[in-house]
Structure 1
Amino acid sequence: MATLFLAIIYLAFISLGIPDSLLGSAWPVMRPDMNASFGFAGILSMIVAAGTIVSSLASGSLVQRMGTGKITLISCCLTAGALLGFSMSPSLLWLVFLAIPLGLGGGAIDAALNHYVAENYKAHHMNWLHCFWGVGATMGPIIMSYFIAEHHSWRDGYWTVSIIQFTLAVILFVTLPLWKRIAAIKEAERRNDEVAEDYSGSEKMQPEGSFKVNVLQIKGVKPTLIAFLFYCGVESTVGLWGASYLVSARNITAETAAWWISLYYGGITMGRFITGFITLKVHNRVLIRGGQMVAVAGGVMLLLPHPSFMLTGLIFIGLGLAPIFPGLLHETPSRFGREHAAKLMGYQMAVAYTGTTFLPPLFGLLATQTSIAVFPYIALAFVLFMMFSVEKVNYIMNNLAKYSKEK
């Protein structure tokens, strides 16, 4: 039963990933069809991400009232309905309106399931959870590429994805009683652990007055938040504008560009699948640093003229990004203390969504005023800012550890 339940959680995260990569793949053909400006995709992306921020901030109280299962089901229905609306949308105004429930649904699933897995499962499950987001994100461009190539229709691509989402919603509805059953089992296990801990005489870590601490003043927190900002900035900017860059600046067909973006998301997916096994032997911090170096190498490759370098660069950026986000999330309790972890998780997710909300539209504005050809330079800059921020946190943590030993 536990294995079946974990499969349902992974399935739900696939449903979260599929819509995230659709707009960027479809935009080269959506834009002329809807008579939209080049940068309007950034506005839509901003609206979706804003809805994501709102629902993620509200997800804690909603989960307490309704449970993770119901929130996941409702969110899946919201995204399915929004995607169906996209496929039939007669104007840009309708796209703006439908972007709201699309974001609200995505944020609730993301925050609720991340919290559930972090609380109840080990580190490798967190990597695999985000791996299945990558499965969905990889499927999106593949589906869109097929319908653009075979039917010359982005609308059919959105319609197909909405049907997939509704199918997942049916599965979630049928298995809804399982969420309550597993929740009861997990609660019983936690109570048994508490009884065993009390019996052994061990003390729980309850720092006096810790609830009064301003977590933003903890050393290393601010550069960590900056790292989350630029991580999501580069991930979403490459996903949203990569296809447009390939079509407009490199003269690659729209269907081929969509395939290439699917390989970028495929790199994230495969990287997280492999990382889930590697975390059993290698520390998160080592994996994060290695991922950053690979992502930088991918950004450099995008600057090179030959198409094979561009494709390799996209895949390398995806592979490099793979361990960073789940790794940083999992490091939160050990770096800043378990007593602050829950609050910091919320801050980190909010800042991450802020990066998704604002950095891709800002790039769209920049590209509109200058040229889409600046895309690889901006992508590389985002990666370098992220790398600098993570390394600053490592430097601070190392100094604190050294000071503690000397003391």
Structure 2
Amino acid sequence: MNLWTKIKKYPRIGLILLAFIAFIALGLPDGLLGVGWPSIRTGFSIPLDAIGMLLTASVIGYMTSSFLSGFLLSRIGVGNVLAGSCLLTGVTLIGYTVVPQWWMMVLFGVFAGFGAGAIDAGLNTYIAAHFGEGIMQWLHACWGIGITIGPIIMTVGLTRLNTWRFGYQVVGGFQIALAICFGLTLAMWSQNNAPSEDSTAEKRLTDYKTPMGETLRQPRAWLSVLLFFLYVGGEGGLGIWTYSLLTESRGVDQTLAGFFTGSYWLTFTIGRIAAGVVAKRIGINNLVLSGLAGALTGSALLIWNPFVMANVIAVGLIGVSIAPIFPAMMSGTSARVGDHDAANTIGMQMAAAGLGTAVIPTLMGVLARQISLETIPVFLLTVYAGLFSCYLLAVKLPKKLAMAVSA
């Protein structure tokens, strides 16, 4: 029995496998830019900080499609969203390699972000609707695999072929192949996502067609959005600024600092794989709260800095601790906001994640330039303390609302 036959015979297994592959593909482009940027900016004769233009363009597209994902999923279905988004992303990434002007690459960045946001929000909504916390953890671990492999692909292109274009062509081609796979499995996505004709059957998140305006009026939805803004900002800020903090402010050996900074996403992935094994037994709230406790401890250790190796221990502790938080909070969306608003809220959360990726690391950089790099761990501790407080409020708020309604 070949793989395709198995997928058709066991559609749930096939869809999970395809979702995992899609999240690996989602992480691949994120791992290309950092390694390829020196060659890209040299080729286009642009300054070092021009990367901000491409990141901003991508975030605009990402936030737009994420925010609209609830509407798109309810109108055209999960399979169509995923197939179209993968095709758009693949064509755009290959487009990076053929445009003659920098502004054209920036423009393509909007469409790349739009495709990535739709894939991200669509799969998160689908997994939250149909599967448990463990699958959600493993889904996001696959993103970690992708962002770990991305730099390797780019390095091969730079060292063997002396071009950054190879990396984007390979990943773009993979995205197009994935779009074809989604297209071939449209019937399975539609069948597994179709509302039940049985009026007594429990509705799934993707069965609701709640108007976005109604969800926007829910305070608990906005509180849930804030959680993702803070979390992703802290995650990205740590990844971006750790190397500078260790080498420029604390005199850590560049090789040692580079090794642990570079393996940050690998540690992250291992943490999510482990969380997938224990998620159901531990529970979503315990995963999040214990992860935040570890992140606060690691941030405090990073501020204290009693000896050189404490930096490495602190970064590793934060990385392992925060790994399960994002997928756990995603799985718990319906518990925080209710099934009726969950699909729309997931899209809003993904939009907030894109915004947090841009805003919080940028604020860290401004403070580091104006004051000192030593403000970075203090800022990080503040972010995780705020996230801890907001999460406790988000968990308690639905219960208070339920008690008020019953009263």
TM-score, with normalisation over the residues of structure 2? Answer: 0.79
CA drift at 1:163: 0.1
Residues 160-309 of structure 1 aligned to structure 2 (within 5 Å): 160-174=167-181, 176-187=183-194, 190-191=195-196, 194=198, 197=200, 215=215, 218=218, 220-245=220-245, 248-249=248-249, 259-303=259-303, 304=305, 308-309=309-310
Residue aligning to 2:393: 392
CA drift at 1:6: 1.5
Q: Does 250-259 or 310-319 show the bigger shift?
A: 250-259
Say if 1:64 and 1:134 are closer, same or farther in 2 by CA, change over 3 A. same
Residues 28-47 of structure 1 aligned to structure 2 (within 5 Å): 39-47=49-57
Say if 1:178 and 1:211 are closer, same or farther in 2 by CA, change over 3 A. closer
Residue aligning to 1:109: 119
Q: Do residues 6 (structure 1) and 16 (structure 2) align?
A: yes
Deviation per CA, 1:140-190: give whole Å up to 9, x if none.
344456777x5796x53x622540341242244145222323422543xx5
Separation in structure 1 between the aligned mates of residue 268 and residue 395 of structure 2, nearest angstrom: 23
Separation in structure 2 between the aligned mates of residue 247 and residue 264 of structure 1, nearest angstrom: 16
For residue 281 of structure 2, give the secondary structure of its aligned residue in structure 1: coil
Say if 1:296 and 1:350 are closer, same or farther in 2 by CA, change over 3 A. same
Residue aligning to 2:311: 310
CA drift at 1:62: 4.0
Query: Any conservation in 1 of the 2:242–2:261 contact (CA below 8 Å)?
Result: yes
Query: Any conservation in 2 of the 1:28–1:244 contact (CA below 8 Å)?
Result: no
Superposed CA RMSD:
3.9
Separation in structure 2 between the aligned mates of residue 169 and residue 341 of structure 1, nearest angstrom: 30
CA drift at 1:292: 0.5
CA drift at 1:378: 2.6
Which residue identity is paired with 1:274?
A
Deviation per CA, 1:309-354: give whole Å up to 9, x if none.
3333333222222222222222222233222323332332332222
Separation in structure 1 between the aligned mates of residue 215 and residue 15 of structure 2, nearest angstrom: 34
Residue aligning to 2:378: 377
Which residue identity is paired with 1:280?
K
Residue aligning to 2:60: 50
Separation in structure 2 between the aligned mates of residue 268 and residue 380 of structure 1, nearest angstrom: 18
For residue 281 of structure 1, give the secondary structure of its aligned residue in structure 2: helix
Say if 1:44 and 1:234 are closer, same or farther in 2 by CA, change over 3 A. farther
For residue 196 of structure 2, give the secondary structure of its aligned residue in structure 1: helix
Query: Any conservation in 2 of the 1:266–1:315 contact (CA below 8 Å)?
Result: no
Separation in structure 2 between the aligned mates of residue 251 and residue 99 of structure 1, nearest angstrom: 36
CA drift at 1:15: 0.9
Q: Does 316-325 or 304-313 show the bigger shift?
A: 304-313
Separation in structure 1 between the aligned mates of residue 88 and residue 252 of structure 2, nearest angstrom: 34
For residue 191 of structure 1, give the secondary structure of its aligned residue in structure 2: coil
Residue aligning to 1:128: 138
Q: Please, which of 65, 77, 85 is the counterpart of residue 75 of structure 1?
A: 85
CA drift at 1:285: 0.5
Residue aligning to 2:347: 346
Say if 1:48 and 1:175 are closer, same or farther in 2 by CA, change over 3 A. closer
Separation in structure 1 between the aligned mates of residue 161 and residue 307 of structure 2, nearest angstrom: 28
Q: Does 359-368 or 25-34 show the bigger shift?
A: 25-34
Separation in structure 1 between the aligned mates of residue 83 and residue 212 of structure 2, nearest angstrom: 36
Separation in structure 2 between the aligned mates of residue 19 and residue 59 of structure 1, nearest angstrom: 21
Residue aligning to 1:207: none
CA drift at 1:131: 1.6
Query: Any conservation in 2 of the 1:137–1:262 contact (CA below 8 Å)?
Result: no
Query: Any conservation in 1 of the 2:272–2:324 contact (CA below 8 Å)?
Result: yes
Separation in structure 1 between the aligned mates of residue 251 and residue 99 of structure 2, nearest angstrom: 28
Q: Does 134-143 or 27-36 show the bigger shift?
A: 27-36
Query: Any conservation in 1 of the 2:66–2:348 contact (CA below 8 Å)?
Result: no
Separation in structure 2 between the aligned mates of residue 218 and residue 112 of structure 1, nearest angstrom: 21
CA drift at 1:217: 6.0
Q: Does 158-167 or 11-20 show the bigger shift?
A: 158-167
Separation in structure 2 between the aligned mates of residue 101 and residue 84 of structure 1, nearest angstrom: 12
Which residue identity is paired with 1:346?
G
Which residue identity is paired with 1:50?
I
CA drift at 1:281: 1.1
Say if 1:213 and 1:132 are closer, same or farther in 2 by CA, change over 3 A. same
TM-score, with normalisation over the residues of structure 1? Answer: 0.79
Which residue identity is paired with 2:312?
L
Query: Any conservation in 2 of the 1:82–1:98 contact (CA below 8 Å)?
Result: yes
